[in-house]
Structure 1
Amino acid sequence: MPNSKIAIYALTSQGVNLARRLASKLGGTIYASRRLEAENVTPFDSLRDLVAATFNAFDSHIFVAAAGITVRCIAPHLQSKETDPAVICLDQGGLFAVSLLSGHLGGANELAADAARAVGGQAVITTATDSAGVLSVDMLAKSKGLGIGNIERVKDVNMALLEGQPVQLYDPEDWLGLAWHSNFDSVAGADDWDSSRPGIWVSWHSDCPEGALSLHPRVLHLGIGCRRDVSVYEILDHVGDVFGKRGFAMESIASVGSVEAKRNEAGLLEAAFEFGVSPVFYSTAQLTAIDVPTPSDKVQAHMGVPSVAEASALLAAHGGKLIVTKEKTDTVTLAIARSRRA
């Protein structure tokens, strides 16, 4: 599927032609050196200055340029493998598509393969697990929709897999689908965990033992009601307090829901952004149709529905169970539902 969040950079006329072929298959915005006077592209004077502006504005970057030029342009902007965008480069003949940055989590390895197919070239993938044909736990977690709580532990698990060492696994609901995999030793709980060995702990709670890679299924759906002009900090503080008391993992937040009347509430929109989800807003008819444990006459009088927080959480969870009935501050009401395992 074409991706409008791809930036494609070309430095030569031949490179522009290749960029057009890539964009026709992958989508994206083409940037070309102004001196080329190419049509239907965005011209630039300095590639280094351009990348400073575009690096964090796009999910992926394709440079039709030498690897050295690409590395020098992106180097000042690198932050972490968890947040950096995908970066690949191609020679202007389209012979090789090289994955340079964020091969796994950012999707550069997949992008390099897609780009190579688009122009009839060869993808060049140098990440160790891919080169060895070994399972990469960060890629697996991404494909299963799991959040990673401590990205620095990925290398410990991947290294153990590369060396053929067994890896501990706590995943009672088998989110990773590895229950019968020969490279993993399933454990029943914390009492069986050996902190001296690498391992993976899959849970929607913040209960990961020391030294383990923590992965979190996104199963917690927040229903939020709030006063007008509430600040993002009031929402974040209340959610953080409720999660902290119950030991829930913030990485397991799957959605934020509220009533349609709150669609333009800035604090709520900012909070959803901080949680890394897109907010969902429900009509009064949708909310009224949901049976909740603690309806409110006050909410009915002000919003026209008996419940905002609990009903929104239950709607978002699609048949899941309410695990936290509404908890209130002076300005924020929060309820949490857990979705069922698909």
Structure 2
Amino acid sequence: MRVALIAITKHGVSHMVELAKKLTASVEDITVITSEKFAAQVEVLEAKNSGCKTIVYKGAMRPQVPDIFNSFDQLIFFVSLGAVVRLISPHLKSKEEDPGVIVVDDAKQFVIPMLSGHIGGANYYAELVADLLGATAVVTTASDVRNTIAVDILGRDLGWRVEAPKINITRVSADVVNEEPVALVQESGSTKWWKYSTPLPKNIQLYARFEDVDFDKIKSLLWITNRVVDIEIWNKLEERLVVYRPPKKITLGIGCDRNTPLSTIERAVDEALTKLNATIDEVEHIATIDKKGDEIALLEFAKNNGKELQLFSAEELAKVEVPNPSEVVMKYVGTPAVAEAAALLVAGENQEQLLIEKHKCRGEDEKNATVSIVLMKE
């Protein structure tokens, strides 16, 4: 996180220096910015090896704003709110791109997150700054002041990814803060997402399964899941669905023809992961049959992704019950399944669900690779 502190008055610079010293315990990349008039006050930070960088500019601050706005993730101004509005307004793009912007008054009484409160993190940093300065954070986003769910960042600190068009997030957020009936289905992920000491608002109805929701009684749906969400469901709920993807722990079982190219294996895995909206970073184990222990492409694939290629004998794999046994595979390698059985076996007692049974990929050289994916218990 790149944080810039900006001040243009005597008292503002004093408060900025105070904050910079205290903020270094929480933030590594801090830059303090002021005019040459106050250079001596801020340069002492670098002289004392505080960990802060300094920028001292000549003339007016307005010409500095474009670079500041585009170079940092969080801007903390010790400047009046109105002045900051005029300074940054020409540079606004979207809440997905803009930095968080916070304003602290000249008496350090109030800390106001004025831009990108959720996605940009301004609300979080405003609370932190207020605590460090002994000030009051003035947070105005409805979900925060109402102690309800912030739809756009639910589970972000747990590593969840939001999956929904922008219009869905806007519509569902409105339903949440306007106390319309909203279903929250949690089928995966940590349950420690509720951060308030107060109970969940009464308009939020909790469900353990999507199938249990009575859609005639709700306006919107928040769905925490690792399931594949069919297009029919998106169409049915129109702009009233937001899906959250907690990090998964998954295993890959891979089978392939002898001398299958690395590119074919990579494509097979990528296609299978894409079906699940998963990434290679969520893969815990990669496994195959021991007869493929010298398969160069498999070894390279595992190494490239920081994993050990785990091997099982045909006898071990043959004991695993799979949905798609093959007599042809049995004839050639001594087990009715390689990919499915390997993915299940390497997951062991932690296996929860076979998410991808057999995803096949044929390369231009007619060599085949097959991938199976198992979800592990959390």
TM-score, normalised with respect to structure 1: 0.68
| 2:177 counterpart residue number | 162
Where 2:245 maps in the other structure, the secondary structure is: strand
Going from structure 1 to structure 2, the CA distance change for 1:197 and 1:312 (only over 3 Å counts) comes to same
Q: Which amino acid aligns with 1:82?
A: E
Contact 2:187 2:226 in 1 (8 A): no
Going from structure 1 to structure 2, the CA distance change for 1:205 and 1:33 (only over 3 Å counts) comes to farther
2:188 to 152, 157, 173: 173
Q: Which amino acid aligns with 1:6?
A: V
Contact 1:313 1:336 in 2 (8 A): no
Quote the offset at 1:88 in angstroms. Answer: 0.4
In the TM superposition, what whole-angstrom CA distance separates every residue of 1:112-131 from its partner, at most 9, and x where no partner exists? 11111212211110111222
Residue 43 of structure 1 pairs with residue 56 of structure 2 = yes
Q: Hey, what's the Cα distance between the residues in 2 that align with 1:177 and 1:131?
A: 20
Where 1:165 maps in the other structure, the secondary structure is: coil
Point out where structure 1 has 5 or more consecutive residues left out of the alignment: 258-279, 281-286
| 1:189 counterpart residue number | 210
Point out where structure 2 has 5 or more consecutive residues left out of the alignment: 25-29, 47-53, 253-260, 311-345
The alignment's C-alpha RMSD in Å is 4.4
Quote the offset at 1:60 in angstroms. Answer: 1.2
Quote the offset at 1:166 in angstroms. Answer: 2.3
Q: Which amino acid aligns with 2:6?
A: Y
In our comparison, the structure showing a higher alpha carbon Rg is 2
Where 1:160 maps in the other structure, the secondary structure is: helix
Q: Which amino acid aligns with 2:55?
A: T
Where 1:17 maps in the other structure, the secondary structure is: helix
In the TM superposition, what whole-angstrom CA distance separates every residue of 1:221-269 from its partner, at most 9, and x where no partner exists? 799xxx99x9xxx99987764445x3x22xx437278xxxxxxxxxxxx
Q: Hey, what's the Cα distance between the residues in 2 that align with 1:13 and 1:76?
A: 27
Where 1:8 maps in the other structure, the secondary structure is: strand
Where 1:52 maps in the other structure, the secondary structure is: helix
Where 1:109 maps in the other structure, the secondary structure is: helix
Alignment of 1:213-228 (within 5 A): 213-219=242-248
Between the two proteins, the alignment pairs up a number of residues equal to: 294
Q: Which amino acid aligns with 1:66?
A: S
Where 1:22 maps in the other structure, the secondary structure is: helix
| 1:198 counterpart residue number | 220
Identity %: 24
1:6 to 3, 11, 29: 3
Going from structure 1 to structure 2, the CA distance change for 1:93 and 1:306 (only over 3 Å counts) comes to closer
| 1:21 counterpart residue number | 18
Contact 1:167 1:199 in 2 (8 A): yes
Residue 107 of structure 1 pairs with residue 133 of structure 2 = no
Quote the offset at 1:176 in angstroms. Answer: 4.6
In the TM superposition, what whole-angstrom CA distance separates every residue of 1:292-334 from its partner, at most 9, and x where no partner exists? 447453428x97x79436872889xx9676966897768xx99
Q: Which amino acid aligns with 2:215?
A: D
TM-score, normalised with respect to structure 2: 0.62
Contact 2:180 2:219 in 1 (8 A): no
Q: Hey, what's the Cα distance between the residues in 1 that align with 2:142 and 2:308?
A: 41
